[in-house]
Amino acid sequence: MAADDPRDLERFLNAQDGVIEAARRELRSERKRGHRMRFVFPQVEGVGSGRTSRRYAIGSREEAAAYLAHPTLGPQLRECTAIGNGTDGRTAREVSGAPDALNFRSWMTLFDAVADGSEAFGAALDRYYDERDEGTLRFLREE
């Protein structure tokens, strides 16, 4: 971890390099093909149990805020969220794929909690779910 990157956000940049366009295509289509969403939309530690989920887990509210404020990661996150919000008539499962439909709620809950309230994350939650992800909210309360 570099001194100028104490939260190791570089891991997300490296993971997204060369695949962010594929992630955008997957969000627009109904054919999710991989686990790219876990490093485009990271979730809090302890929610995912797989190796990829653990590698790209967010460890604190501050790390989530740093991700959102990052000059590349933040705009890409907002863009991908807007794509997901712009898919008329589709469910969260159709947007993010079967295993990630619940994760999508966790992702949006995390970034809605650290954003200033004017973001599309809350809109995604309102559109696709009846409530925020309790596991993510508990993590944020307890950390």
Q: Are 43 and 57 in contact (CB under 8 A)?
A: yes
For residue 30, the model assigns a pLDDT of 57
Q: Are 105 and 129 in contact (CB under 8 A)?
A: yes
104: tokens are: 């999508």
For residue 86, the model assigns a pLDDT of 84
Question: In Å, how far from its chain's centre is CA 93?
Answer: 15
What stretches in the chain show pLDDT beneath 70?
1-3, 30-37, 97-99, 118
Orientation of helix 73-85 relative to helix 61-69, angle to 10° = 90
What distances in angstroms separate CA 16 from CA 73, 83, 113, 140, 141, one per listed residue?
A: 9, 17, 23, 25, 29
For residue 87, the model assigns a pLDDT of 78
The stretches of 10-60 forming alpha helices (DSSP H) are: 10-16, 20-28, 37-40, 51-55
For residue 56, the model assigns a pLDDT of 86
Model's pTM, two decimal places? 0.87
For residue 111, the model assigns a pLDDT of 94
In CATH terms, the fold of domain 9-140 is: 1.25.40
For residue 1, the model assigns a pLDDT of 55
Q: Are 108 and 121 in contact (CB under 8 A)?
A: yes
Residue with the two structure tokens 């990829």? 52
C-alpha torsion sign, points 115, 140, 67, 28: negative
